[in-house]
């Protein structure tokens, strides 16, 4: 298993947001994490990225313990995150935001090639590259956020509700991007409230409820389970 989460407990303020969560993330797969608001999904990604400290348990990446490392160190391992709320630098230009994504890249020519690749794929990015990121629409910001995380060609992408607040057409585009980067070898942990989106592309799904994992398994199993049917599919 690429990532092993071993019974972690995490606090957000004084609230126990994760109450002993264990997960295995398979290399090369898209792993889905669904659940209601406040169930702890975002906290899980923050713990993986090193932003939220864990009070007990451990997180292992390729059998190495990473839960004591800083976000910078974890980023250097090739774990990239598309945070909740997009996590852009609002007064930096789109290009500067992308450049920050290329921060750890040793080869600057490769970074430039990636920029050109994104401009080709998203002409919007090219047109707006000198604009401040904070001035873009929600959908455009999400594209920038994802593009920025992809520049470093990460081994793992942590995506926190990428479809939130986006028009269906853009959501489709996001789905395509996720499938593409996964085909390229990047493992994806996809946190979403939009369960249908996750059912469509994930191999394994974890269902969170109030800080714990209520149910997990291969997508087909999870989709067919009574639990999920009642919670998500209305019956």
Partner 1 sequence: MVFNCLVNGIVLGLTYGLIAIGLTLLLSVLRVFNFAHGELYMLGAVATYYINVTLGINYIVSIILSILIVGIIGIVIERILFRKVRGQLIASLVISLGLSLFIAGGTMIIFGEKSKGVPTVAEGSFEFLNQTVSMERITVAAASIILILGLHLFLKRTKLGIQMRATAQNSEAAALMGVNIDQVSSVGFAIAAALAAAAGALIAPLFFVSTSLGGPAIERAIVVIVLGGMGSIPGAILGGLLLGLINSFAASYLGGVSEMISFVFVIIILLLRPQGLVGVKGVD
The region of 69-77, 164-172, 180-188, 223-231 touching partner 1 under the rule CB under 8 A is 69-77
Q: How far is the CB of 98 from partner 1 (least distance, A)?
A: 11
Burial of 25 (0-12, 13-18, 19+ CB in 10 A): buried
Tell me the CA distances in angstroms from 96 to 79, 88, 126, 145, one per residue in order: 21, 10, 12, 12
Nearest Cα to Cα of residue 83 among 4, 148, 10, 154: 148
| Closer of 141 and 216 to partner 1 (Cβ) | 141
Nearest Cα to Cα of residue 131 among 101, 102, 97: 97
State which of positions 154-213 bind partner 1 (CB under 8 A): none
| Closer of 35 and 101 to partner 1 (Cβ) | 101
Among 17, 66, 81, 197, contact with partner 1 (rule: CB under 8 A) = 81
Among 71, 110, 124, 201, contact with partner 1 (rule: CB under 8 A) = 71
| Closer of 144 and 213 to partner 1 (Cβ) | 144
Angle at 26 between CA 177 and CA 147, to 5 degrees: 25
HSE-CB at 8 with a 13 A cutoff on CA atoms is 29
Q: Is 100 in the site for partner 1 (CB under 8 A)?
A: yes
**Which residues contact partner 1 (rule: CB under 8 A)?**
49-51, 70-72, 75-76, 80-81, 83, 87-92, 96, 99-101, 103-104, 148
């Amino acid at each position: 298993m690429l990532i092993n989460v071993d019974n972690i407990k995490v606090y957000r303020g004084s609230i126990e947001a994760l109450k002993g969560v264990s997960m295995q993330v398979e290399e090369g797969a898209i792993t889905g994490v669904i659940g209601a608001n406040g169930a702890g999904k975002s906290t899980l990604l923050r713990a993986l990225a090193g932003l939220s400290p864990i009070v007990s348990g451990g997180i292992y990446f390729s059998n190495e313990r990473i839960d004591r490392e800083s976000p910078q160190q974890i980023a250097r391992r090739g774990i990239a995150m598309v945070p909740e709320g997009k996590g852009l630098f609002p007064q930096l230009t789109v290009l500067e935001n992308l450049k920050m994504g290329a921060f750890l890249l040793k080869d600057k020519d490769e970074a430039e090639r990636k920029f050109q690749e994104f401009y080709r794929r998203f002409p919007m990015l090219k047109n707006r590259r000198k604009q401040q990121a904070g001035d873009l629409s929600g959908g455009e910001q999400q594209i920038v956020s994802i593009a920025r995380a992809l520049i470093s060609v990460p081994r793992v992408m942590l995506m926190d509700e990428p479809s939130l607040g986006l028009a269906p057409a853009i959501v489709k585009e996001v789905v395509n991007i996720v499938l593409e980067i996964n085909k390229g070898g990047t493992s994806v942990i996809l946190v979403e409230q939009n369960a249908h989106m996750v059912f469509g592309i994930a191999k394994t799904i974890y269902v969170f409820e109030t800080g714990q994992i209520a149910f997990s398994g291969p997508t087909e199993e999870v989709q067919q389970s009574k639990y999920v049917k009642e919670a998500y599919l209305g019956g």
